[in-house]
Structure 1
Amino acid sequence: MSKILIRGAKVLGGEPQDVLIDGAVIAEVGTGLSAEGAEVVEAAGKVLLPGLVDLHTHLREPGREDSETVLTGTRAAASGGYTAVFAMANTFPVADTAGVVEQVYRLGQEHGYCDVQPIGAVTVGLEGKKLAELGAMHESAAGVTVFSDDGKCVDDAVIMRRALEYVKAFGGVVAQHAQEPRLTEGAQMNEGIVSAELGLGGWPAVAEESIIARDVLLAEHVGSRVHICHLSTAGSVEIVRWAKSRGIDVTAEVTPHHLLLTDELVRSYNPVYKVNPPLRTERDVLALREALADGTIDIVATDHAPHPHEDKDCEWAAAAMGMVGLETALSVVQETMVETGLLDWAGVAERMSAKPAEIGQAQGHGRPVSAGEPANLTLVDTAYRGSVDPAGFASRSRNTPYEGRELPGRVTHTWLRGKATLVDGKLT
């Protein structure tokens, strides 16, 4: 592989520096660097980050290739600055065996736009009744360390306890979709003033918060690790904050859309705003931003949930839940966290690269931008502002809530172990 000289980039938003890539690693970081025969990328004014890592992505393959595939999903990831994604288990068949997770893992290796780490199901068929082959999936070629029934809650406390006990043996983590099913039967949106006015079934905050409270106590009892997926309420923030104050081994994520959008948008009855967990109130949004800034919420994860046109272009009650997010996540975080002064770019790198890589044990990712480290890098034109046009997405699906909305920032380059996957905003 040839040498690449990234010239004048603001590493983690700091002072301009040059970064020399030699093969798959960063050879040198400094000022006034030169390298004979190196490809030069002029990066003055742009911010250089370690490649982003998404702990919560739905790639849909196998089984729903009409909405996304490992190829299209990883191309979307590279477009958004990601060098590694964790693929959720709610596929068809469910990723609850070593065979299925190995299939997804190898598809990721074949396509090469980013690393793909499968997440294994906690229970067989996501049915919540019997533990899946956790040990076999961990020992497989995929080396699964994160397990989740995302899309469904592991609502049985005994099953959840057993899962936490099982993964403790090899340092794994259970990622919980916190949703008490009996409190959300028929729910269509956040329970509150807007749902009452619209006559839509309400999704109460307590349905999320009660599961989180139970699970952090189970994790404390077992001495295991639990991760909270797509935390969405101010009450959930307080529970996680309390748990961390007790030394409980809990981590949590927030999605970009829960940092920006509120349930007021549902007044349009546009199913693009239908998502699980639902969009909450402005109070919740502000609490989530503050919690991400102070570290109560550890990471940003996209919950990239692609759906074909026919599953979203229908009446609200019949529409599928979910939004695509890989290609807009960094822009939303720039608007909600950086431009508000809540985070600097080093903080963004911690929450979108280093910490998710640590939680998921993504080897070689989330590393510092320094000599000797793998050249997994993302270059961002932070001065750019433009309207979101889903027609240009690399994802197979277009169900974005940001269509036509002006957002800041644009990923111009992504490198995976020194190989460019995105150059001047175009996939290689």
Structure 2
Amino acid sequence: MSKILIRGAKVLGGEPQDVLIEGSTIAAVGHGLPDGGAEVVEAGGQVLLPGLVDLHTHLREPGREDSETVLTGTRAAASGGYTAVFAMANTFPVADTAGVVEQVWRLGREHGYCDVQPIGAVTVGLEGRKLAELGAMHESAAGVTVFSDDGKCVDDAVIMRRALEYVKAFDGVVAQHAQEPRLTEGAQMNEGIVSAELGLGGWPAVAEESIIARDVLLAEHVGSRVHICHLSTAGSVEIVRWAKSRGIRVTAEVTPHHLLLTDELVRTYNPVYKVNPPLRTERDVLALREALADGTIDIVATDHAPHPHEDKDCEWAAAAMGMVGLETALSVVQETMVDTGLLDWAGVADRMSFTPARIGQATGHGRPVSAGEPANLTLVDTAYRGPVDPAGFASRSRNTPYEGRELPGRVTHTWLRGKATLVDGKLT
């Protein structure tokens, strides 16, 4: 049985301790643990976190392997400190049957860089007209518990109600891409002063907020769980806060880019800043940070959306929407939440591991760093600061908004059930 001793790590940002891994399990946590012939990793005061869990990743396989594959996407995940990711259903073919979700699940198991939990489509072909095979996907080997038409909104209230009723039987969750389509026809960026000055079609905040308001009321009526994908406006925060005060079973996520970037960047007309939902205002950014800090927003999810060069390096109107995020997420969260004093590292562990694992029912992930628990761990050099270089990304795509930008923190090691997937910043 392999043994690894992580010496002098700040567990969840606390006092330095030693962590002994034996096989796939944490054997002991304490001070001055003997190495007993174990491989020793000198942590030197780096922060040790439970392996990160991303509830919102696009792996593109099957169908768009030119953007990403399960292999390259999970390598990117391991590089970013993730030990589990949930793969969205907008593939080709769509993951709306047991066969497709099992294919994605098996590819994740074969490659071994992190666990891959497929998300099933809510509707057949993401077309919003007929419920997909929710029960069959749940009962498949993949054991799907999260369903989403992400990329498209389930805008039909009757279909959304039926989906919430269906998943309630096995305590599943519907993850909604909140975008009223008729309010966003031709939209190119956030509706506001900048869109007016640039002459680009505006994407109003109410297009997101109106769907969230409807869906939390539906969830209350049905008594089921609804999750709000990539929440992006101050108004959305207030609706979720109100819903939680009523005991409605709603959870919400925010992306790293919505915690840091604003619509002012669109003035460059650089399509790397084109994303769905769009970058919002500074007021929205500050509201999102406060909501993540106080728990109104439950988790950080990357919405890792890889695109090939030709789909982003073109004029703004023709460019695809989306940004890669797995390899920079933790750095952005450190920049916006930890270094600003809004969250400590225990709070980061909650928002990026414990709670997403709970929402998605990711068995063995999001567990405490303590004896007897699975050794899914991430070691972070929080003192590091340097420029982002997409040339070194493990992802197949390079559409990052942070190229050349200095960000703090660097994941040095990742362990999946005791097996190192990243060592000294390099994939194994």
TM bin (shorter chain): over 0.9
Query: What displacement does 1:44 show?
Result: 1.4
Encode CA deviations 1:36-84: one digit per residue, 9 max, x unaligned. Answer: 2100000012000000000000000000000000000000000000000
- Describe the SS at the equivalent of 1:411: strand
The corresponding residue for 2:238 is: 238
- Describe the SS at the equivalent of 2:386: strand
Query: Structure 2 matches for 1:211-226, cutoff 5 A?
Result: 211-226=211-226
Give the paired residue count: 428
The ranges of structure 1 where at least 4 consecutive aligned residues each deviate by more than 6 angstroms after the TM superposition are none
Counterparts of 1:359 and 1:89, CA distance in 2: 17
Is 1:139 equivalent to 2:139 in the alignment?
A: yes
Counterparts of 2:99 and 2:272, CA distance in 1: 34
- Describe the SS at the equivalent of 1:197: helix
Encode CA deviations 1:245-292: one digit per residue, 9 max, x unaligned. Answer: 000000000000000000000000000000000000000000000000
- Describe the SS at the equivalent of 1:34: coil
Counterparts of 1:131 and 1:308, CA distance in 2: 31
Counterparts of 2:363 and 2:286, CA distance in 1: 33
The corresponding residue for 1:74 is: 74
Encode CA deviations 1:313-342: one digit per residue, 9 max, x unaligned. Answer: 000000000000000000000000000000
Query: What displacement does 1:232 show?
Result: 0.0
Counterparts of 1:296 and 1:34, CA distance in 2: 43
Is 1:412 equivalent to 2:412 in the alignment?
A: yes
Query: What displacement does 1:35 show?
Result: 2.8
- Describe the SS at the equivalent of 2:365: coil
Query: Structure 2 matches for 1:98-117, cutoff 5 A?
Result: 98-117=98-117
The corresponding residue for 1:376 is: 376
Counterparts of 1:18 and 1:318, CA distance in 2: 52
The corresponding residue for 1:20 is: 20
Query: What displacement does 1:224 show?
Result: 0.2
Query: What displacement does 1:197 show?
Result: 0.1
Counterparts of 1:230 and 1:36, CA distance in 2: 46
Counterparts of 1:185 and 1:45, CA distance in 2: 51
- Describe the SS at the equivalent of 1:227: strand
Counterparts of 1:117 and 1:246, CA distance in 2: 31
Counterparts of 2:58 and 2:282, CA distance in 1: 27
Counterparts of 1:36 and 1:11, CA distance in 2: 21
Counterparts of 1:10 and 1:170, CA distance in 2: 38
Counterparts of 2:359 and 2:54, CA distance in 1: 11
- Describe the SS at the equivalent of 2:20: strand
Encode CA deviations 1:8-40: one digit per residue, 9 max, x unaligned. Answer: 000000000000000000000000001321000
Counterparts of 2:427 and 2:32, CA distance in 1: 29
CA root-mean-square deviation: 0.3
Query: What displacement does 1:213 show?
Result: 0.0
Encode CA deviations 1:62-119: one digit per residue, 9 max, x unaligned. Answer: 0000000000000000000000000000000000000000000000000000000000
- Describe the SS at the equivalent of 2:359: helix
- Describe the SS at the equivalent of 1:296: coil
The corresponding residue for 2:155 is: 155
Encode CA deviations 1:224-260: one digit per residue, 9 max, x unaligned. Answer: 0000000000000000000000000000000000000
Counterparts of 2:169 and 2:47, CA distance in 1: 40
What is the percentage of aligned positions where both structures have the same residue?
A: 95
Counterparts of 1:411 and 1:424, CA distance in 2: 8
Counterparts of 1:245 and 1:325, CA distance in 2: 31
Counterparts of 2:37 and 2:372, CA distance in 1: 20
- Describe the SS at the equivalent of 1:264: helix
Counterparts of 1:11 and 1:226, CA distance in 2: 32
Counterparts of 2:10 and 2:29, CA distance in 1: 11
- Describe the SS at the equivalent of 1:371: coil
Counterparts of 1:414 and 1:339, CA distance in 2: 22
- Describe the SS at the equivalent of 1:144: coil
Query: What displacement does 1:422 show?
Result: 0.0
| TM-score, reference length from structure 1 | 1.00
Counterparts of 1:389 and 1:345, CA distance in 2: 25
Query: What displacement does 1:380 show?
Result: 0.1
Encode CA deviations 1:342-384: one digit per residue, 9 max, x unaligned. Answer: 0000000000000000000000000000000000000000000
The corresponding residue for 1:338 is: 338
> Gaps spanning 5+ residues in structure 2: where?
none
Counterparts of 2:65 and 2:297, CA distance in 1: 32
Counterparts of 1:65 and 1:289, CA distance in 2: 34
- Describe the SS at the equivalent of 1:413: strand
Counterparts of 2:45 and 2:6, CA distance in 1: 12
Encode CA deviations 1:135-194: one digit per residue, 9 max, x unaligned. Answer: 000000000000000000000000000000000001100000000000000000000000
